[in-house]
């Protein structure tokens, strides 16, 4: 099994490589870059070391199609919508970590992303890779659209409530917080150390492009779901997302009942771990791993349920889930190459 | 004017000192400590330097009462409820930074704080020092109960909405985030660097003792307000609080109307600054200063208002507001000794 | 007294403003920017607030010369070497925070900075503003060249040893560490949060342009001093420099003797504070202040002296020392507008 | 192969577990704790998760000896010196991560550690586990004393210079910097977040207990080596050590010659990676991995060599090297269970 990674010089790309190096069924990884072809990956990322180094190659569709079985795109917006169709036509499977194929509705995409969408035929063909809830479809995917980091944490946290219609459909508020690596490796004032360190910011209030992605899945699960309030904050840390989720319970619900529901919902999902009553996960408890840890409680005073869902944004929120989807697509054990404990501290 | 600070070896205490050193009307500060009397404050805090050093004295009520006009308590729970009455009986004004006198209702205090309350007569006498909204009462305070850090950010953010009855009374959710200095200087696993750094935690879910403090003030403003949902998160930074506040608007409300309302509400409050439409404050934008910066918007999709309110937890959330209250109690300009720009970056 | 700041949109520029706002003898500050003229400073730095806002003006030498008494340059390399002469010719005093006028020898400048130097006549005229050791010359300066951040910490730490010829002239090694704000506000991969956070880097090994600046002063003090080894490290924090300095003592020297020497050397220097025997300063102990704190010891096992010198790189290492020099140039008390305690924590 | 970990509730202990989970030849791990026996490890470390949880057992020498083949001690000073002999007598191999058996000379130990040493017979028997330079002895070790974190980085950086007698024997200065996890999990003011964050401290100047450990090995390599100067700094990050090493070259030495020497010296050491000329490693480039990355250069101006050596203090500086030593002791491939790429960013 040969794998290509297009956009290997970003954080998502190197994280895919970190895991694939230990993957039992992947023989070779080839790395491609539009801007740095001809250089070694270790020129950009010295942590890789000479022994495990890769040569960055020019993106040549024919060459990739003749060499590789699966292609990962870890590219900026607009790249995979151009190139993925060319690979699919040539029989290569594609796993896209960008947002290009996540929204089925072009007008929604163009409103939130402020750019042109991919071809509708591929939008329809793309399978949304929220592994825990789409396994059957993923098995047959040719074009896999890997979920965004915020949607992954949010949807895994909300699924049991929304699918079981336990909460008021117009009551969902998600207060999400992320480390800075989610913004990628491109330098900018917003990610400049002196601006971010010892600071906490809110950004894209009511305007984050992950809002329609979350709502698309929620309304798939329950068509009565109303628009959600979703806020994103930049936390002075490199990795980690926490989604703190609030929703009004339709009826009083004992905490243990909630926890049982969550445990049952994820009983066959090895990467989702549910905390005991009264306990909530911190982002570091999934650091560097593919886990999504969830705590949940109910407050009788207010009638609201609070769900806390944490992931490593670069792993379960990007590279790790992409490999999890690869495993499902290939019929391999879903955990292949991914069973690493979180690094703590 | 002579000032005493009891509990000068904590972060709140040294921060009171930092500001009082430059206060135009304060002549002397005396510092007291139950555990380190006889030592120099610079033994605990070398940043103070020899020239500006203070000798920590034993807490002796008679001596303090005969020397000082005003006493600041920056002490753990249970200290000021014991000692403040003795000083007030002796004609000394007290400004208490602890939570001992914040709740009027003993049963509420005992439920949330899990400890015995102060004497009811003093609970009733204590004036709640949310300066911007209680100036008239503060002018005559003998016993000033300085607000908690979270309540300060939250109440300043909510006041215009709640007082003007713009939001559904049962719809308020506050997702609050704090730097670690709010936990004080006492070492613990929860504040151990390797546990906090590169990590984000939620804590005291639905159980923070600041909840009744906030609700007490909100129901003073509008008796129909229902219990709020209030969550607290520990962010890997030293200073800063952000309260992200969500509430359902009773009616559609244009953003500019909201901003005008906030600007009008705080027109005579020099420490509250309202952002323009579309802009929201980051915690660093008030770093080290007594400002509370607020941004507000309305989302037509959801009918919800989002308010973002930031303070420096040790300044407007503690020492700075305490001095602001001192100024009001003494009839001085409210900004005396406090007009420092935030330190950025 | 009217002041102009050219380059007010950088960290050095806003820090000059932070202090000048409280300066007793400065009436007005005018701010200039080559790239953002016509905008408000608060558009770039919302922490400033509307009330204290400044309009950024185009750099117009005639207009500046007719309005201002002193001009601060907080600009990238190559700006002040062009513009400062035009102002000096018009009788305006200049305080330059950039490195353009620090080195007297053009060939040395061009070797280390890899760019053309200022006109030699101005290089000669420029007074090096290491306040504690150049006060007499500074009093009459027309063109004041403010020291670099690393040289300030290093030279204040070394002066008593070198001037008193206590150490072997070929034995000086300086291991310096800095927070990230020293790199300015321009975004780059080197200052990208995810690259810097939870990381420690060494940079410009044996090649930092501050090396000749330090050696120039050292050889002024003692012409036998040989080239020093000087290393710079980037620490994941925003502010602060520590210079850890090693030198071989010519003779055994008791620690208390060393400390006495340092105390005597800085007896009339209000911003240099010497620690007791066995104590060493941390960078946070001078945070936000103009202090330079120094600890020193001698190791009998090795015959070496270790000096630890810390400053806030944006204050004593830039804006604060610039104002200290302004005070000396104007004949004002050296501490005017600068006597703020460090912010801790 | 059954493994016991005594002191599994510290950072070193859980890190041993993180690696042993993926070790191809280790069947079972049993965890022991003197203070928390009877609880689950996940009660202390929720990141572990239920599925992979371990029950902490009481330390019972007979039970351990009858169950386990090798015992790791990740305990505070004074524990292994008591318990290890009991296990060795029972034929169990011991790998000790504490400092109890590192120094051969009791008087040296007692001077630097200020406590009583282990029994001399065991001090003599203990093999010092600097894997890259002691492989032959380690193969037969019954009692393996795992090096300290600072000595590992320092000695790997110095070995080629000292063993080949390239530097003046009295010229070695090591300026070392560490993340905070090296101080363990015990809460203290020194490791309190608000004291460490945005701060840089020097500590134990000329008094660190790792000094004699380094000197013992250096003088083994070259008996003429004189006492070294060694300083330790606390950097606001969780993981990582950098040793910046200075030494006077006996003769001019071209940089490429130096780099060749280092490459040759470590040609058969898979965990030591040498940077190209002009490049130096950052701590994050070995994050979470067992690598030691080294850069080296020579400065003609000063005649000094600078070596920069970085490790992850919890991996190559503790748990990782311990497992590397286990592999050597067992005759397994030295990299078994350890070949993980650094996590970046």
Per-residue pLDDT of C63-119, as tens digits, reads 999 999 999 999 999 999 999 999 999 999 999 999 999 999 999 999 999 999 999
Contact C22 B340 (CB under 8 A): yes
D93 Ramachandran zone, left/alpha/beta (phi>0; psi -120 to 50) = beta
CATH 3.30.365.10 holds for B150-312 = no
Residue pair C279/C256 in contact (Cβ under 8 Å)? The answer is: no
Q: Judge whether B50 is closer than 8 Å to chain C, CB to CB.
A: yes
> Could you give the CA distance from residue D232 to residue D207 in angstroms, rounded to a whole number?
9
Strand order in the sheet with A127-128: A56-57, A28-32, A2-6, A70-73, A93-96, A143-145, A127-128
Residues of B in contact with A205 (CB under 8 A): 280, 297, 306, 308
Q: Are strands B2-6 and B272-274 parallel, antiparallel or unpaired?
A: unpaired
Q: In the prediction, which pLDDT does A52 show?
A: 86
Distance from CA of C81 to the nearest CA of D (A): 29
Q: Judge whether C307 is closer than 8 Å to chain D, CB to CB.
A: no
Q: In the prediction, which pLDDT does D58 show?
A: 96
Average pLDDT, chain A: 97
Q: In CATH, what is the architecture of C150-313?
A: 2-Layer Sandwich (3.30)
**C29, C68, C149, C292: the active-site residue:** C149
Residue in chain B closest to A307 (alpha carbons) equals B205
> Strand, helix or coil at C192?
strand
Q: In the prediction, which pLDDT does D50 show?
A: 87
Q: What pLDDT, in 10s, does the model give residues C2-17?
A: 999 999 999 999 999 9
Active site residue B149: yes
Q: Judge whether C281 is closer than 8 Å to chain B, CB to CB.
A: yes
Question: Exposed, middle or buried: residue C252 (CB in 10 Å: 0-12, 13-18, 19+)?
Answer: exposed
Contact D194 B194 (CB under 8 A): no
Residues of C in contact with B273 (CB under 8 A): 49-51
Q: Judge whether D304 is closer than 8 Å to chain C, CB to CB.
A: yes
Would you place residue D22 in the very low, low, confident or very high pLDDT band (cuts 50, 70, 90)?
confident
> Could you give the CA distance from residue B172 to residue B226 in angstroms, rounded to a whole number?
8
Average confidence (pLDDT) over D101-125: 97
> Strand, helix or coil at D192?
strand
Q: In the prediction, which pLDDT does C181 show?
A: 98
Average pLDDT, chain D: 97
Residue C202 makes CB contacts below 8 A (sequence gap 6+) with C231, C232, C233, C234, D242, D244, D280, D282, D295, D308
DSSP H helical segments within A58-130, as ranges? 61-67, 80-89, 106-113, 120-125
Q: Which of A199, A205, A282 sits opposite B283 (nearest CB)?
A: A199
> Strand, helix or coil at B72?
strand
Q: What pLDDT, in 10s, does the model give residues C186-217?
A: 999 999 999 999 999 999 999 999 999 999 99
Contact A198 C236 (CB under 8 A): no
DSSP D116-135: PPPPHHHHHHPEE--HHHHH
Q: What pLDDT, in 10s, does the model give residues B153-194?
A: 999 999 999 999 999 999 999 999 999 999 999 999 999 999
Q: What pLDDT, in 10s, does the model give residues B112-122?
A: 999 999 999 99
Asked whether the predicted pLDDT for residue A285 surpasses 90, the reply is yes
> CA dist D263 to D250, D256, D258, D268, D295, Å?
20, 10, 9, 9, 11
Contact A282 B306 (CB under 8 A): no
Contact C187 A187 (CB under 8 A): yes
Q: Judge whether C279 is closer than 8 Å to chain B, CB to CB.
A: yes
Distance from CA of C284 to the nearest CA of D (A): 5
Strand order in the sheet with B2-6: B56-57, B28-32, B2-6, B70-73, B93-96, B143-145, B127-128
Q: Judge whether B229 is closer than 8 Å to chain A, CB to CB.
A: yes
Q: In the prediction, which pLDDT does B50 show?
A: 87
Average confidence (pLDDT) over C139-166: 98
Contact C185 A185 (CB under 8 A): no
DSSP H helical segments within chain B, as ranges? 11-20, 41-44, 61-67, 80-89, 106-113, 120-125, 131-139, 149-163, 193-196, 210-221, 255-265, 320-330
Residue in chain D closest to B179 (alpha carbons) equals D194
Asked whether the predicted pLDDT for residue B52 surpasses 90, the reply is no
Would you place residue A50 in the very low, low, confident or very high pLDDT band (cuts 50, 70, 90)?
confident
Contact B194 D187 (CB under 8 A): no
Contact C236 A197 (CB under 8 A): yes
Would you place residue D51 in the very low, low, confident or very high pLDDT band (cuts 50, 70, 90)?
confident
Residues of A in contact with C197 (CB under 8 A): 180, 193, 197, 236-238
For a pLDDT cut of 70, what percent of chain C falls above it? 100
The complex scores an ipTM of 0.97
Asked whether the predicted pLDDT for residue C22 surpasses 90, the reply is no
Task: Find the radius of gyration of the CA atoms of chain B.
Answer: 20
Average confidence (pLDDT) over D295-312: 98
Q: In the prediction, which pLDDT does A272 show?
A: 98
Residue in chain A closest to C240 (alpha carbons) equals A194
Q: In the prediction, which pLDDT does C195 show?
A: 98
Name residue, tokens 């979180």: A342
Q: Judge whether C201 is closer than 8 Å to chain A, CB to CB.
A: no
Contact A340 D22 (CB under 8 A): yes
Q: What pLDDT, in 10s, does the model give residues C310-325?
A: 999 999 999 999 999 9
Domain with CATH 3.30.360.10 in chain D: 150-313
Q: In the prediction, which pLDDT does A51 show?
A: 87
Q: Write out the catalytic residue numbers of D.
A: 149
Across-strand partners of B212?
none
Q: Judge whether D10 is closer than 8 Å to chain C, CB to CB.
A: no
Nearest one of B70, B78, B76 to B95, comparing CA atoms: B70
Residues of B in contact with C21 (CB under 8 A): 341
Residues of B in contact with A203 (CB under 8 A): 280
Contact D192 B194 (CB under 8 A): no
Asked whether the predicted pLDDT for residue D4 surpasses 90, the reply is yes
Q: Judge whether D36 is closer than 8 Å to chain B, CB to CB.
A: no
Domain with CATH 3.40.50.720 in chain C: 2-125
Q: What letter would DSSP give residue B259?
A: H
> Could you give the CA distance from residue B220 to residue B127 in angstroms, rounded to a whole number?
13
Q: Judge whether A62 is closer than 8 Å to chain D, CB to CB.
A: no
Q: What pLDDT, in 10s, does the model give residues B241-300?
A: 999 999 999 999 999 999 999 999 999 999 999 999 999 999 999 999 999 999 999 999
Distance from CA of D121 to the nearest CA of C (A): 29
Q: Judge whether A108 is closer than 8 Å to chain B, CB to CB.
A: no
Q: What pLDDT, in 10s, does the model give residues A134-162?
A: 999 999 999 999 999 999 999 999 999 99
Q: In the prediction, which pLDDT does D52 show?
A: 86
Q: In the prediction, which pLDDT does D136 show?
A: 98
Which CATH superfamily is A2-125 part of? Answer: NAD(P)-binding Rossmann-like Domain (3.40.50.720)
- The torsion defined by the Cα of B217, B222, B225 and B230, in degrees rounded to 10, comes to -30
Residue in chain D closest to B184 (alpha carbons) equals D194
Contact A239 D345 (CB under 8 A): yes
Nearest one of D319, D266, D329, D320 to D74, comparing CA atoms: D319
Asked whether the predicted pLDDT for residue B23 surpasses 90, the reply is yes
> Strand, helix or coil at D31?
strand
Q: How many CB atoms lie within 10 A of CB C221?
A: 16
Reported as type and span, the H/E element at residue B244 is strand B241-248
Residue pair C209/A216 in contact (Cβ under 8 Å)? The answer is: no
Q: Judge whether D300 is closer than 8 Å to chain C, CB to CB.
A: no
Residues of C in contact with D229 (CB under 8 A): 246, 299, 302, 304, 306
Q: In the prediction, which pLDDT does C259 show?
A: 98
Q: Which two tokens stand for residue C162?
A: 């070198």
Q: In the prediction, which pLDDT does A325 show?
A: 98
């Amino acid at each position: 099994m040969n794998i290509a990674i297009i956009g290997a010089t970003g954080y998502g790309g190197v994280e895919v490589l970190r895991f694939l190096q230990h993957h039992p069924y992947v023989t070779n990884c080839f790395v491609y870059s539009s801007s740095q072809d001809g250089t070694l990956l270790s020129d950009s990322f010295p942590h890789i070391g000479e022994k495990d180094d890769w040569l960055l190659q020019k993106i040549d569709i024919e060459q990739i199609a003749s060499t590789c079985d699966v292609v990962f795109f870890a590219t900026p917006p607009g790249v995979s919508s151009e190139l993925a169709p060319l690979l699919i036509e040539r029989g290569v499977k594609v796993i896209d970590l960008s947002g290009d194929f996540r929204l089925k509705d072009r007008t929604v995409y163009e409103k939130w992303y402020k750019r042109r969408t991919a071809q509708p035929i591929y939008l329809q063909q793309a399978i949304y890779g929220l592994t825990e809830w789409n396994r059957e479809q993923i098995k047959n995917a040719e074009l896999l659209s890997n979920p965004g980091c915020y949607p992954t944490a949010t949807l895994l946290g909300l699924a049991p409530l929304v699918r079981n219609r336990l909460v008021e459909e117009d009551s969902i508020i998600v207060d999400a917080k992320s480390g800075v690596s989610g913004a990628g490796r491109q330098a900018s004032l917003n990610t400049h150390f002196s601006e971010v360190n010892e600071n906490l910011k809110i950004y894209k209030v009511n305007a984050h492009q992950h809002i329609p992605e979350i709502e698309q899945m929620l309304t798939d699960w329950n068509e009565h779901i109303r628009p959600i309030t979703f806020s994103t904050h930049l936390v002075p840390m490199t990795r980690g997302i926490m989604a703190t989720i609030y929703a009004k319970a339709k009826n009083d619900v004992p905490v243990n009942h909630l926890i049982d529901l969550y445990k049952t919902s994820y009983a066959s999902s090895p990467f989702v771990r549910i905390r005991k009553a009264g306990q909530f996960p911190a982002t570091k408890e999934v650091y560097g791993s593919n886990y999504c840890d969830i705590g949940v409680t109910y407050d009788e005073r207010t009638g609201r349920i609070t769900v806390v869902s944490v992931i490593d944004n670069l792993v379960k929120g990007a590279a790790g889930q992409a490999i999890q989807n690869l495993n499902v697509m290939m019929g391999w054990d879903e955990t292949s190459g991914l069973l690493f404990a979180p690094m703590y501290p």
